[in-house]
Amino acid sequence: MPRQARAACPVRVLIEPAERIKGRLAAPADKSISHRAAIFAAMADEPVLITNYLEAADTLSTLAAIEQLGALVERRSEGLMIRGVGLRNAQTPAQPIDVGNAGTLIRLLPGWLAGQDGSIFQLDGDESIRRRPVDRIAEPLRLMGASIEATDKRFPPLTVEGARLHGIDYTLPVASAQVKSCIALAALLAEGSTTITEAVASRDHTERLMVNAGVKISRAGNELTIYPTDELTLPERIEIPSDPSSAAFAIAAAVLVPGSRLLVEDCSVNWTRSGFIKIAKRMGAVIITDLEERPRDGVIAPQEPVSEIDVTAGPLKPTTVSADEVPLAVDELPLVALMACFAEGQTCIEGAAELRLKESDRISAVVTALTNLGADAEATEDGLIVDGHGSLRGGQVDAAGDHRIAMLGVVAGLASQEGVEVVGVEAAAVSYPNFLEEIAALR
Ligand code: S3P
């Protein structure tokens, strides 16, 4: 099948140290919510208009996937009009579904497909996807009644044979919003209710969309219960807020480059995504914003809250990031490690073994990148340790096909003493296609 491969000739860019970061940023739309909104719209009977959908490689893969499954995607000036197929009518595509580099797509979509009784679906992706474990979703979907095949029972390509599903009680072995969401989607088509127990909270966009779609869903402590339904009744219009994980790159640059002042416009401040801002503030960063509070037990807020984020550069101190904070900042931990280089003293990130299973092994990738730039960084089994000395020399960072490592290299360059050459910067397009231009406009 045609698979997206890493660019044969990686693009190199030299990022000179910035004098300051100044201005306003409208960060791109949230990747996690975009994937989910498109999948929910595909599962609905009535058309849904999605405004501010993320037009990046990962989320374009999701649009292509839902089109293969029979949804119609129409581009209008105000947004994407998606006409779904209904919960139980996904068509069997003529070709395998190509998820590209999108881990969220290959983990979430099988939840819906597993409930398509009698239909078979194949999913595959690029070389990085073929290294990302899917046994974490295969196991619960099998317990619900579907047949799932994967290479070595663990890696894509993945074959999902839909069946009549039944609800399960399942304790997540890893704190993963992708796994939680996959099971939750399958639960919509199952007989009986499904209860998912998560020891540590993770992003809750699927739960919020379910509330908006009229699904019966409740939370008690760390148990989430979802009841099946015949139909999703989504609002006519879903607006996607800006992505805090994308905004975090410019925020880190503004924290690190002396004399900076950055205003991020209407960004998601969902409490399950605010870990990075909290850690940065603990390190001494001056960030003014209105983060959502963790809700009372049992309440799932339907809205995705947004706020301005006002950032000023300032001196940093080291910190320890603990396992329960990891899912709330999982994609921003490379930036925490970078900021730690500029603090005086030791920063530890603990309980983050999941980082090894991202688009790259992000523990090794971050340690290699920062060490190449002159930092004192060391990998542990489940995290990393950085001894900060107040500055970073500069050098070269190889993105190795990982969008967040490419953008980490750019931010490191802005804050470094001598600049950074980023090799493979084009990887940023997976989540943030205009990253270089938007960062350049802030200099
Ligand atoms: C995501 C969840 C996280 C995150 C990923 C997006 C999601 O993965 O790293 O970029 O949209 O649910 P895990 O759920 O595997 O931790």
* 18-27 pLDDT, tens digit each: 999 999 999 9
pLDDT digits 0-9 by tens, 270-291 = 999 999 999 999 999 999 999 9
Atom of ligand 1 nearest to the CA of 108: 12
Q: How far apart are CA 346 and CA 356, in angstroms?
A: 21
Tell how far the Cα of 16 is from the centroid of ligand 1, in angstroms: 32
How is residue 113 written in tokens?
């497909």
Strand (E) or helix (H) holding 335: helix 333-342
The residues lining ligand 1, judged by C-beta closer than 6 Å to any ligand atom, are 32, 104, 176-178, 181, 202-203, 330-331, 354
SS (H, E, C) 238-304: EECCECHHHHHHHHHHHHHCCCCEEEEEEEECCHHHCHHHHHHHHCCCEEEECCCCCCCCCCCCCCC
Residue 2 has pLDDT above 50, yes or no: no
| pLDDT confidence bin for 296, thresholds 50/70/90 | confident
Nearest to 110 by CA among 83, 136, 81, 71: 136
Tell how far the Cα of 385 is from the centroid of ligand 1, in angstroms: 23
Q: How many CB atoms lie within 10 A of CB 308?
A: 14
Is 331 a residue of the active site? yes
Nearest to 130 by CA among 3, 289, 312, 320: 3
Sheet holding 223-226, edge to edge: 169-171, 194-197, 223-226, 217-220
Taking the C-alpha atoms of 280, 409, 435 and 384 in order, what is their torsion angle to the nearest 10 degrees? -40
pLDDT digits 0-9 by tens, 340-367 = 999 999 999 999 999 999 999 999 999 9
> Considering 331, 361, 382, 398, which one is annotated as catalytic?
331
Taking CA atoms, 384 is separated from 245, 334, 356, in Å, by 20, 10, 11
Atom of ligand 1 nearest to the CA of 331: 9
| pLDDT confidence bin for 6, thresholds 50/70/90 | low
Tell how far the Cα of 387 is from the centroid of ligand 1, in angstroms: 28
pLDDT digits 0-9 by tens, 392-435 = 999 999 999 999 999 999 999 999 999 999 999 999 999 999 99
Nearest to 194 by CA among 97, 262, 111, 297: 111
Atom of ligand 1 nearest to the CA of 357: 15
Write down the pLDDT at residue 299.
Answer: 87
Model pTM greater than 0.95? yes
Residue nearest to atom 5 of ligand 1 (CA): 104
pLDDT digits 0-9 by tens, 78-101 = 999 999 999 999 999 999 999 999
Residue 1 has pLDDT above 90, yes or no: no
How is residue 105 written in tokens?
């797509």
Write down the mean pLDDT value for the chain. Answer: 96
What number is the average pLDDT over the span 247-272?
Answer: 98
Tell how far the Cα of 176 is from the centroid of ligand 1, in angstroms: 6
pLDDT digits 0-9 by tens, 52-66 = 999 999 999 999 999
Residue type at position 313: A
Q: How far apart are CA 101 and CA 400, in angstroms?
A: 13
Mutate to test the pocket of ligand 1, among 36, 101, 104 (most ligand atoms within 8 A of CB): 104
What number is the average pLDDT over the span 175-190?
Answer: 98
Tell how far the Cα of 351 is from the centroid of ligand 1, in angstroms: 16
Write down the pLDDT at residue 8.
Answer: 72
Taking CA atoms, 346 is separated from 31, 319, 393, in Å, by 32, 7, 18
In a 13 Å sphere around the CA of 188, the CA atoms on its Cβ side amount to 31
Bridge partners (DSSP) listed for residue 384? 349, 379
